């Protein structure tokens, strides 16, 4: 089990030397204090109030403060000592205060003997009233009784010196609080010299460790205070005061000079903010947990061709714009892609280009759709293929799982294939143009076979493959890395020149080449094209029968 923050603080208290504590008022101030090397954090009432632009005078509620203390605790690995003012009420309120702060993960709370509502110890002209010793000792006892974690600590703070009630009263009070079970006693002072806190420490006759807050007697070092008997030294508000000064200077300079650069002397680089808030950690988590490893995956949909094979169903519509129960094929594709985090989607359109009306898509045009093929369309959107890109057919319906599977591939060129095509062989006669794939090493198949995790290597791809030799069907989805896209487009540039007007693989001329033709060309040239397997979860709308099947299948 992870060590509790309370136990961590106790461990630090047992070690030599003073425990140096820095004030914090939010997550980032906590991280900055931790990086500066402090031992613990002080969820300062003064700082937290100031961060809400209200006086330190019990204006914020316990719930306000506990929420910030929790944020401070979450942001840092240091133990947090939470300033709880007067415990937000009497002994009964303190019970709830302790419960809430313990749940928030803080290691210790500090309560002061000011009556409610308190006033910041440093505000001038305030008539100060303290609770009776008995009342406050009762609050300490109630708090100690309420805590669950035996390591959780309560610091009792007396304001007797602040209120001008004298050293004897201060000692009497602190002794009573220590005897009531306080784990530490804080003696506060607004004197410019450390004399009174040093005198207090000298007279202290309990084993209970002492805490001080050297805000006004600011020239006294932590080591001097430790030598006098203080175990914990709290620098209560310096982070906040530094931030106020830097913000004021930076914003004042921008306003005056009317340019952002004027703020430079008072601001950190953006990289420093990224570092403080853990952007690196998030990037690693994205790689591990997000579909596609958090990579910026784009998609290019090849939708330039006509839907003539569909006959009347297409009614002068491109196949991607066919309606399937109130949503077009393209809208369904966009939804499936969005669901796995693919938001940058480009569509190459041609036939009935004006009919495309899906928003948030970048459109490319292939006006030569009648005389050219898929590769010519893809070339129009070649600039989109930055980072990892999914290239898919405009008539493809697929579940998000198919995309997730595809994005698991680490290879430069990966086709998504389905080995269940053999089950529906009757379709083969119905569809002369089924794109088939022959793998160079065939993983075990059959009804009990698991999907292979080993990268499959494609030997041949295309519709002219003998169905009996083929192992799988090409789904119409290709994943390319940036390098894969370059390999593909470089090959395309070479073959369009070399085979201009001539047959190319299964295409009557290179201009009409489909994706599979260029993939076969790459394979022949020795470039590895990999395959990942999916088991169903997709369909292509090539014929009117497909359209009927799709209609029946979608919701
Ligand atoms: C705080 O930081 O809120 C404190 C310390 O209580 S002081 O402001 O010095 O009273
Ligand atoms: Mg305070």
What does each C-alpha distance from 230 to 202, 210, 268 come to in angstroms? Answer: 10, 5, 35
pLDDT digits (tens, 9 = 90+) for 195-223: 999 999 999 999 999 999 999 999 999 99
pLDDT at residue 337 tops 60: yes
Identify whether the C-beta of residue 85 lies closer than 8 Å to the C-beta of residue 112: yes
In SS3 terms, 62-106 reads as HHHHHHHHHHHHHHCCCCEEEECCCCCCCHHHHHHHHHHHHHCCC
Tokens representing 555 are 């919701």
Q: How far apart are CA 281 and CA 275, in angstroms?
A: 9
Asked which of 125-129, 304-308, 391-395 is least confident by mean pLDDT, the reply is 304-308
Best CA proximity match to 200, nearest among 37, 250, 208: 208
Confidence of residue 426 (pLDDT cuts 50, 70, 90): low
pLDDT at residue 410 tops 60: yes
pLDDT reported for residue 449:
46
More confident residue, 465 or 268: 268
Q: Which residues' Cβ are closer than 6 Å to ligand 1?
A: 23, 44-46, 56, 83, 120-121, 213, 215, 236-237
Residue of the CA atom closest to atom 5 of ligand 1: 236
Question: Which ligand has its closest atom nearest to the C-alpha of 47?
Answer: 1
pLDDT digits (tens, 9 = 90+) for 48-67: 999 999 999 999 999 999 99
Q: Is 148 helix (H, G, I), strand (E, B) or coil?
A: coil
Confidence of residue 521 (pLDDT cuts 50, 70, 90): very high
Asked which of 94-108, 365-379, 431-445 is least confident by mean pLDDT, the reply is 431-445
Question: Which ligand has its closest atom nearest to the C-alpha of 217?
Answer: 1
* Structural domains of the chain in order of their starting residue, each with its CATH number: 5-237 (3.20.20.60), 291-553 (3.90.550.10)
Q: How far apart are CA 357 and CA 341, in angstroms?
A: 22
Q: Residue 207: CA atoms inside 13 Å, Cβ hemisphere, count?
A: 1
pLDDT digits (tens, 9 = 90+) for 322-336: 888 899 999 999 999
Confidence of residue 455 (pLDDT cuts 50, 70, 90): confident
pLDDT at residue 506 tops 60: yes
pLDDT reported for residue 424:
62
pLDDT at residue 185 tops 70: yes
Residue of the CA atom closest to atom 2 of ligand 1: 44
Q: Is residue 400 exposed (0-12), middle (13-18) or buried (19+ Cβ within 10 Å)?
A: middle
Q: 43, 213, 214, 234: which to mutate for ligand 1, most atoms within 8 A of CB? A: 213
The dihedral sign for the CA sequence 16, 17, 21, 22: negative
Q: 33, 41, 42, 46: which to mutate for ligand 1, most atoms within 8 A of CB? A: 46
Confidence of residue 405 (pLDDT cuts 50, 70, 90): confident
Identify whether the C-beta of residue 10 lies closer than 8 Å to the C-beta of residue 204: no
- State mean pLDDT over 468-487: 93
pLDDT at residue 351 tops 80: yes
Q: Which residues are catalytic?
A: 56
pLDDT reported for residue 146:
98
Identify whether the C-beta of residue 210 lies closer than 8 Å to the C-beta of residue 185: yes
Distance (Å) from CA 190 to ligand 2 centroid = 13
Distance (Å) from CA 179 to ligand 2 centroid = 23
pLDDT reported for residue 548:
82
Best CA proximity match to 406, nearest among 503, 258, 299, 254: 299
Q: Mean pLDDT score of the chain, rounded to an integer?
A: 92
Asked which of 306-315, 324-333, 363-372 is least confident by mean pLDDT, the reply is 306-315
Residue of the CA atom closest to atom 10 of ligand 1: 121
Instruction: Please report, rounded to a whole number, the percentage of residues in the chain having pLDDT higher than 70.
Output: 94
Distance (Å) from CA 27 to ligand 2 centroid = 18
- State mean pLDDT over 510-524: 96
Instruction: Supply angle C-alpha 534, 431, 529, rounded to 5.
Output: 40
Best CA proximity match to 353, nearest among 312, 397, 308, 305: 305
DSSP tag of 504: B
pLDDT digits (tens, 9 = 90+) for 90-141: 999 999 999 999 999 999 999 999 999 999 999 998 889 999 999 999 999 9
Q: Is 52 helix (H, G, I), strand (E, B) or coil?
A: coil
């Amino acid at each position: 089990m992870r060590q509790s923050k309370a136990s961590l603080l106790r461990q630090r208290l047992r070690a030599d030397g003073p425990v140096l504590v820095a004030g914090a008022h939010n997550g980032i101030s906590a991280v900055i204090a931790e990086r500066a090397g402090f031992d613990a954090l002080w969820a300062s009432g003064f700082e937290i109030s100031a961060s809400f632009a209200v006086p330190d005078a019990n204006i914020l509620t316990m719930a306000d403060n506990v929420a910030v203390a929790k944020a401070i605790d979450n942001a840092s690995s240091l133990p947090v000592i939470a300033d709880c003012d007067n415990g937000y009420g009497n002994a009964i309120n303190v019970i709830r205060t302790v419960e809430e702060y313990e749940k928030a993960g803080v290691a210790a709370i500090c309560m002061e003997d000011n009556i409610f509502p308190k006033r910041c110890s440093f505000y001038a002209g305030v008539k100060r009233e303290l609770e009776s010793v008995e009342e406050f000792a009762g609050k300490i006892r109630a708090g100690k009784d309420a805590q669950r974690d035996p390591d959780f600590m309560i610091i009792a703070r007396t304001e007797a010196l602040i209120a001008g009630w004298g050293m004897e009263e201060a000692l009497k009070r602190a002794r009573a609080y220590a005897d009531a079970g306080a784990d530490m006693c804080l003696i506060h002072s607004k004197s410019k010299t450390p004399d009174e806190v040093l005198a207090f420490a000298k007279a202290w006759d309990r084993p209970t460790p002492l805490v001080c807050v050297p805000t006004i007697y600011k020239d006294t070092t932590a080591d001097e205070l430790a030598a006098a008997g203080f175990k914990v030294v709290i620098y209560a508000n310096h982070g906040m005061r530094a931030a106020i000064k830097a913000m004021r200077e930076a914003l004042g300079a921008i306003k005056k000079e009317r340019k952002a650069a004027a703020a430079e002397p008072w601001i950190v680089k953006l990289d420093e903010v990224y570092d403080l808030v853990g952007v690196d950690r998030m990037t690693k988590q994205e790689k591990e947990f997000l579909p596609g490893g958090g990579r910026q995956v784009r998609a290019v949909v090849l939708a330039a061709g006509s839907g003539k094979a569909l006959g009347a169903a297409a009614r002068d519509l491109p196949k991607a714009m066919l309606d399937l129960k109130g949503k077009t094929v393209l809208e369904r594709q966009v939804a499936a892609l969005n669901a796995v985090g693919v938001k940058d989607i480009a569509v190459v359109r041609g036939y009935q280009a004006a009919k495309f009306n899906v928003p948030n898509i970048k459109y490319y045009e292939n006006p030569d759709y009648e005389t050219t093929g898929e590769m010519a369309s893809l070339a129009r959107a070649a600039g989109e293929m930055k980072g990892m890109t999914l290239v898919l057919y405009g008539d493809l319906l697929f579940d998000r799982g198919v995309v997730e599977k595809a994005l698991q591939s680490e290879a430069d060129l990966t086709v998504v294939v389905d080995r269940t095509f053999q089950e529906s062989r009757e379709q083969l006669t119905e569809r002369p143009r089924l794109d088939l794939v022959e793998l160079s090493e065939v993983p075990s198949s059959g009804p009990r076979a698991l999907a292979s995790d080993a990268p499959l290597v494609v030997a041949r791809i295309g519709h002219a493959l003998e169905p009996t030799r083929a192992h799988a069907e090409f789904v119409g989805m290709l994943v390319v890395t940036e390098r894969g896209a370059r390999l593909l487009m470089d090959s395309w540039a070479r073959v369009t020149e070399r085979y201009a007007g001539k047959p190319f693989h299964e295409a009557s001329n290179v201009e009409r080449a489909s994706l599979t033709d260029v993939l076969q060309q790459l394979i022949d040239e020795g470039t590895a094209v990999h395959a990942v397997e999916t088991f169903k979860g997709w369909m292509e709308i090539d014929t009117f029968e497909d359209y009927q099947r799709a209609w029946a299948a979608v919701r």
